[in-house]
Chain A
Amino acid sequence: MSKHLVFIIDKPLHGNVKAQEFLDSILMAAAFDQRVDVVLVGDGVFAMLDNQQPEKLDMKNILPVFGTLSLYGINGVTVEEEALRERGLVISQLHEISNVMPREKVKQTMLTAHHIFSF
């Protein structure tokens, strides 16, 4: 049976391997034909900033990996509108696959989920 899974991330993804672990779990859920939403709130929105250069820290650039989500049936990444505003960020600074959603709608998404995974 297909379930609705929501993955929430509220921490910056750079500087450690958390991002890789996070993406691996999301991709596996999608590969098993589950309905998956990926939502970035709080400092998690920094993950979608364009023009990052993690290679300089000897870290892998994971932004391109987000591009695989659509291959596995996930329609992009949702970013919380308020989190952006609170950090002085605008949509045009984000990677193209992001959708923006107000906090109230993020809550609705979480309410309808069968399972919520938080990273």
Chain B
Amino acid sequence: MDSLEHLTLDEFGFMKDRTQWSERVATTFAEKDGLILSPAHWEIILFMQSYYDQYNHQPNARLFGQAIKKQLGADKGSSIYLYTLFPDGPLKYANKYAGLPIPPSCI
């Protein structure tokens, strides 16, 4: 397992400096949480990054599901699907692995 010691993190363990992000960082974060990232996880993580870059906005859980439904298909925006991927909270952990700030609704 790689070390995350070189990263600048906030008090919640989220990255403060996204330029330090890499796929390797995401994988290591997930491993520490006991999660192996599959292509299905990556789809959601990359979606979060492109949404954030395009709109300068972080959705809350409800909006997050709606946005995914609209862009990736109805089945992928369902709570059941998202919680199956990220059992401890899809919004929080998709943002964390994406190197984005903690969503305001997760504090």
Contacts and interface: CB of A to CB of B under 8 A. Distances in A.
A105 B62 CA distance: 32
B62 A65 contact: no
A114 to B, nearest CB: 21
Contact of A28 (B54, B62, B70, B71): B62
Interface of A: 23, 27-28, 31-32, 60-62, 64-65, 67-68, 71-72
B56 interface: yes
B64 to A, nearest CB: 9
Contacts of A64: 54-57
A72 B63 contact: yes
B70 A71 contact: yes
B63 A61 contact: no
B67 interface: yes
Classify chain B: how many residues form its interface, as a range.
10 to 19
B71 A62 contact: no
For the residues of B in contact with A, the DSSP-based class is: helix
Given A28-B62, A64-B55, 6 more contacts: A28-B60, A31-B66, A71-B66, A71-B67, A71-B71, A72-B70
B67 A68 contact: yes
A61 to B, nearest CB: 6
A13 to B, nearest CB: 14
B54 to A, nearest CB: 7
Contacts of A68: 55, 57, 59, 63, 67
Interface in B26-75: 54-57, 59-60, 62-63, 66-67, 70-71
B55 A65 contact: yes
15 contacts: A28-B62, A31-B62, A31-B66, A32-B62, A60-B56, A62-B56, A64-B56, A64-B57, A65-B55, A67-B55, A68-B59, A68-B63, A68-B67, A71-B66, A71-B71
A7 B89 CA distance: 31
A60 B66 CA distance: 23
Contacts of A23: 57
Interface string B65-87: 01100110000000000000000
Contacts of A60: 56
